[in-house]
């Protein structure tokens, strides 16, 4: 009887405990499943609406400002040009009317350096809608004659432009292979040698020189309007050859000179 009563007591307690645990779990599940967020007041709803409208309005204003004339390049100032006109540089830059905030100055500088006359270019933003372009131009050093056409070439061998008239500067007629056009690069050694030949002559003799001819395998030849021709040969010891040539020209009416071998020069006087 005692054992039976104890068993009933334990059974009752277990039932109550089990019921309690299930009731707690059920309440927790019901709370998570059927949890309802508190409703927003009309003031909170209105505030959210204003925030959304303000964000959209700000985006619209930014878009309009980005595409407005206020941020467009309206004026370009070119500095450092003498051979190139300002209008030509601006046209080649392609920046007039571009957005000043998104302007890629490195790309513009690279585009300007494609112009044969441009050695260096620097693009910078100024106040308001102003952009500055600072360029350093290449300077013509000689006239290069090829295939009947004349080109201005700088000291590095860069072909700057084709010309019809012949400027007062050293002229080289080169019988070399390859296409010659503005933007191409020729052998700078030929340019340097031509300048050495001209600069080494006395001024009065230099003024009478019509041109320097260069033929691969033969070398240089100087042709003068005074009636003499000088064979110089290759570019070895050019300064010494020019010095000997200058001395020989003081001996009288010379018609032909060969200083290709400086140790044994040869010359022929003009027949009277």
Per residue in 71-86, pLDDT (tens digit) is 788 899 999 989 999 9
The mean predicted confidence, pLDDT, of the chain is: 84
CA angle 30, 35, 41 (to 5 degrees): 160
Q: Mean pLDDT across the stretch 2-22?
A: 44
Whole-model pTM: value is 0.72
**Predicted local confidence at residue 64, as pLDDT:** 59
CB 192 within 8 A of CB 159: no
Structure tokens at 75: 């004026």
The more confident residue out of 17 and 260 is: 260
Collect all residues with Cβ–Cβ distance below 8 Å to 37 and sequence separation of at least 6: none
Distance from chain centroid for Cα 265: 49
Q: Mean pLDDT across the stretch 156-178?
A: 91
Q: Mean pLDDT across the stretch 127-149?
A: 92
Lowest model confidence (mean pLDDT) among 16-30, 32-46, 184-198: 16-30
The more confident residue out of 11 and 127 is: 127
Structure tokens at 249: 């020209």
Distance separating alpha carbons of residues 135 and 121, to the nearest angstrom:
4
Tell me the sheet residues that pair with 99.
Answer: 72
Task: Identify the burial level of 103 via C-beta atoms within 10 angstroms of its C-beta, where 0-12 means exposed, 13-18 middle and 19 or more buried.
Answer: middle
Lookup result for tokens 């006359």: 117
Distance separating alpha carbons of residues 242 and 265, to the nearest angstrom:
11
Query: What is the pairing mode between strands 209-215 and 171-174?
Result: parallel
Tally of CB atoms within 10 A around 234? 14
Distance separating alpha carbons of residues 221 and 204, to the nearest angstrom:
19
Q: Is 117's pLDDT higher than 90? A: yes
Alpha-carbon torsion, ordered 17, 23, 24, 26, to 10 deg: 140
């Amino acid at each position: 009887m005692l054992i039976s009563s104890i068993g009933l007591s334990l059974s009752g307690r277990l039932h109550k405990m089990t019921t309690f645990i299930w009731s707690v779990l059920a309440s927790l599940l019901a709370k998570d499943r059927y949890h309802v967020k508190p409703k927003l007041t009309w003031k909170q709803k209105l505030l959210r609406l204003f925030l959304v409208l303000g964000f959209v309005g700000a985006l619209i204003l930014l878009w309009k400002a980005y595409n407005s004339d206020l941020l467009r390049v309206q004026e370009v100032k070119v500095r450092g040009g003498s051979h190139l006109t300002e209008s030509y540089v601006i046209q080649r830059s392609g920046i007039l009317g571009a957005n000043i905030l998104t302007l890629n100055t490195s790309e513009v500088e690279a585009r300007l350096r494609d112009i044969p006359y441009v050695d260096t270019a620097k693009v910078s933003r100024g106040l308001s809608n102003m952009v500055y372009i600072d360029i350093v131009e290449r300077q013509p050093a000689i006239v290069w004659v090829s295939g009947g056409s004349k080109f201005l070439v700088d000291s590095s061998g860069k072909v700057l432009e084709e010309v019809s008239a012949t400027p007062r500067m050293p002229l080289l007629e080169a019988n070399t292979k390859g296409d010659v056009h503005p933007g191409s690069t020729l052998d700078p050694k030929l340019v340097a040698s031509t300048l050495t030949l001209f600069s080494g002559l006395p001024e009065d003799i230099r003024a009478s020189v019509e041109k320097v001819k260069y033929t691969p395998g033969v070398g240089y030849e100087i042709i003068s309007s005074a009636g003499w021709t000088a064979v110089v040969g290759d570019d070895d010891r050019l300064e010494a050859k020019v010095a000997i040539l200058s001395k020989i020209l003081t001996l009288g009416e010379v018609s032909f000179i060969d200083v290709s071998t400086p140790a044994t020069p040869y010359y022929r006087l003009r027949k009277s």
